Amino acid sequence: MRYSLDQLETLAAVARAGSFSAAARQLGKTQSTVSAAIGNLEVDLGVALFDRATKIPALTEAGRRLLREAHGVLDRCRALEGHAQSLADAVEASLTLAIEIPYNVLMPVFSAFAERFPHVDLEVRHPLHGDVSVLVRQGEAQLGIGFAQPGYARELAFVQMGKLVMAHVAARTHPLAALPTVSFGELHRHRRLAFSAHSERLPTTEYLDATRCWRAESYLALLEMTHAGLGWATLPRLLVRRELAAGELVELQLEAYPHTDWLLGVDLLWNKARPLGQAGGWLRDELARLKVSETDSGGHPTAF
């Protein structure tokens, strides 16, 4: 490469300032230095970048095209410098999160994280065998977000982020959807579609047992199966509220709990024995401040 980044910066400065002299003042250089840099760049590239026939030099067609390329090179250099500075400041290169709740409630924090730590990669994993805490305890994830469980391992710390409503749903064509209220016995006679991460571990799930059960590690898979009428499912209401509003899914009213929403706490977990770096600590603190909440059937927020 014969040309230098300094020459490309000078080209961008002249184009931005409108003249060699104005660019020289902005760069803190003499006009002759700026003129020499542009002249040498033209020699190196083999094209004229400015038309000097007028009092104020104007970019040639080649100059306009190559200026776009120069801006791209300079932007990449700034990204390289930013990445290097991030590593020098002991910011982690990547973070792994284990998440079992609907992701949409977390997007405001993720957006802020992307802006503050643009060079830190995030990997989001599903829970291992239905337990977010396992991934966090074993160090495979730095942070975990999942529905509250009793009796976390001693090395784990946690804070409750809020509460979400769990809804029992079926396709509008499913036999259960036609019933005004549904007993546990009627639930048990139909196939249950369960999210593997919490099919047997959440409070009161013993009442939801069924003789036939299909499990999936993906909410998307459960939604597709529920839409197809293959069974009924218990899912975060926040995840299916559009389908409920459109009438594609019907929320089943349990006979045993006619006026009660099933609320589950959402916990943020981290391992006390594995200190978080700068990016992980920031993300943990921001997630801890996030209020995970929705409106229950009575019109009240589920978390304050």
Q: Given this model, what pLDDT does residue 128 score?
A: 60
Sign of the torsion formed by the C-alpha atoms of 20, 25, 28 and 29: positive
**What's the mean pLDDT in 79-98?**
73
**What's the mean pLDDT in 9-31?**
86
**Pairwise CA distance, residues 234 & 100, whole Å:** 14
Q: Given this model, what pLDDT does residue 260 score?
A: 78
Amino acid identity for residue 76 in this structure: R
Same fold, 5-88 and 93-304: no
Tell me how crowded residue 262 is: count the other CB atoms within 10 A of its CB: 18
CATH number for the region 93-304 comes to 3.40.190.290
**What's the mean pLDDT in 265-282?**
90
Tell me how crowded residue 96 is: count the other CB atoms within 10 A of its CB: 18
pLDDT tens column, 91-115? 788 999 999 888 888 999 999 999 9
**Pairwise CA distance, residues 213 & 220, whole Å:** 17
Q: Hey, what's the torsion of the CAs at 170, 172, 173, 175, to 10 degrees? A: 50
**Pairwise CA distance, residues 257 & 252, whole Å:** 11
User: Per-residue confidence at 199, pLDDT binned at 50, 70, 90?
Assistant: low
How large is the greatest C-alpha to C-alpha distance in the chain, in angstroms?
A: 91
Phi-psi region of 294 (alpha: psi -120 to 50; beta: other; left: phi over 0): beta
244 within 8 A of 297, measured Cβ to Cβ: no
Q: Given this model, what pLDDT does residue 197 score?
A: 64
pLDDT tens column, 138-181? 899 999 998 888 788 888 889 999 999 989 999 999 999 999 99
**Pairwise CA distance, residues 43 & 47, whole Å:** 7
**What's the mean pLDDT in 9-14?**
86
119 phi, psi to nearest 5 deg: -105, 5
82-86, 108-112, 136-140, 269-273: range with highest mean pLDDT: 108-112
Q: Is the pLDDT of residue 299 over 90?
A: no
Cα–chain center distance at 227: 26
DSSP 8-state secondary structure symbol assigned to residue 270: E
Q: Is the pLDDT of residue 127 over 80?
A: no
5-88 has CATH 1.10.10.10 classification: yes
**Pairwise CA distance, residues 109 & 261, whole Å:** 27
> Residue 96, SS3?
strand
Q: Given this model, what pLDDT does residue 103 score?
A: 87
- The answer to which of 16-30, 153-167, 176-190, 222-236 has the lowest mean pLDDT is 16-30
| Strand pairing class (192-195; 232-236) | parallel
DSSP 8-state secondary structure symbol assigned to residue 80: H
Q: Is the pLDDT of residue 297 over 60?
A: yes
Domain definitions of the chain by residue range: 5-88, 93-304
Average pLDDT, the chain: 85
Q: Is the pLDDT of residue 2 over 90?
A: no
